[in-house]
Structure 1
Amino acid sequence: MALLAMAPVGVTHPTHRWRIYRNQRFGTLAEVPDDLFGTARPADNGDGATWTARGGARLRIFGSWNVLEETPASYDAFLRNGRSGRYASVTYKVTRRDLLILSGTHQGMVFYERYAFGDPSGAIHALVLDYPATARSTFDPIVARLSASLRWTPGRAGERIRRLDQAPRRIPSGPVRQRIRPGSRPGCIVKVGIRHLRLCS
């Protein structure tokens, strides 16, 4: 739990300028210290945005469809069974009914990831922060507020799903096999109840 540890007595940290970011597609919302990070770079598919900072730090905030109805525990297993080795040295983990947090180090970088489940639209909302271990004095103090700020409001995609779900038309159902890794592009097929809806042509 080193990332969330209290600062030593006598050590002060600068007050940052926090700005609220909201993704229009999924409604993913979080606060970003914009004096540390540059201008947001929106994803091509509109699922979120990426910020970078001096020294190689990177912040990603995004949403993705939970098409396989993952739970925090199953998503944790999926991520940690990947081939990248990123999660081989997880030092902090929280798994709850609607929350997954993973943190650790990989190749000289500290990572902190928070995934929020429970959105009625079927989306997972995510915050992924990477920064050099040598810059912990700068980024460790912002982790608690950054993480706690992740939440959601209704997005355009969620509103469209609700309209489609209420529409009196027949939509074929069938199996969908797709997993969403952090920062990857979600597909166009979304499961609503027992049906699968195609949101893009």
Structure 2
Amino acid sequence: MARIATAALAAGLAVAAGGLALADQLAYENARFGTRFALPAHMFTAIDPPPANSDGIRFLSDDGAALSIFGQFNVFNETPEQMRQRLAGYRAENAESVTYEAAGDDWLVLSGFSGTDIYYERYEFGRDAVVHGAVLVHPAADKARYQRLVESFAERLTGP
């Protein structure tokens, strides 16, 4: 796990490392899929090493929250509604609740509880059968801290 330098963030320095720019906002762009996400730098203090296949990254906070950003191929050739149904079924099979779900022509959202944590996941369907995803999991006690980030997922998650 790599620590994000708080002093560098506070000073607004930009550091490029494998598609990651650090400043007041963390701006991640996945080179493999073109998935992009901008997040507030003050919320996350560490980054897990990226997977070998370069499909995404996971940011961690001191309070136990994790934000995963990734791209993936739509291997099942699903519509957003079909993917929403599959993911909701997976959550139910794992004793997780789904308290909010929605899908449009090229996006879907699921949110609910996983134990004592809240999860929020958004997927954007892009070109070339690619799905861009972002999943935030945080302690339920910290809901107010993450609410503004969740409300802006639609603007923050993009891709070709």
User: Once the two structures are aligned, what percentage of the paired residues are identical?
Assistant: 33
**Offset of residue 133 of structure 1:** 0.5
**Candidates 124, 127, 134, aligned match of 1:120:** 127
Contact 2:39 2:149 in 1 (8 A): no
Contact 1:125 1:152 in 2 (8 A): yes
Higher normalized contact order (CA 8 Å, seq sep 6+, divided by chain length): 1
Contact 2:37 2:158 in 1 (8 A): yes
Q: What is the SS of the residue equivalent to 1:62?
A: strand
**Amino acid paired to 1:34:** A
Matched, 1:84 2:94: yes
Contact 2:71 2:131 in 1 (8 A): yes
Structure in which a larger fraction of residues adopt strand: 2
**Amino acid paired to 1:146:** F
Structure in which a larger fraction of residues adopt helix: 2
Deviations along 1:32-69, whole A, 9 cap, x unmatched?
21211124332221000001101210000001111221
**Offset of residue 143 of structure 1:** 1.3
**Offset of residue 142 of structure 1:** 1.8
Instruction: Count residues in correspondence.
Output: 135
User: What's the counterpart of residue 109 of structure 1?
Assistant: 117
| C-alpha distance in 2 between matches for 1:38 and 1:48 | 17
Stretches of structure 2 lacking an aligned partner (at least 5 in a row) = 1-22
Matched, 1:73 2:91: no
| C-alpha distance in 2 between matches for 1:17 and 1:108 | 30
User: What's the counterpart of residue 23 of structure 1?
Assistant: 30
* CA RMSD of superposed structures (Å): 1.6
**Offset of residue 77 of structure 1:** 1.6
Contact 1:37 1:52 in 2 (8 A): yes
User: What's the counterpart of residue 32 of structure 1?
Assistant: 39
**Offset of residue 146 of structure 1:** 3.4
TM-score (norm 1): 0.63
Structure with bigger gyration radius: 1
**Offset of residue 18 of structure 1:** 1.9
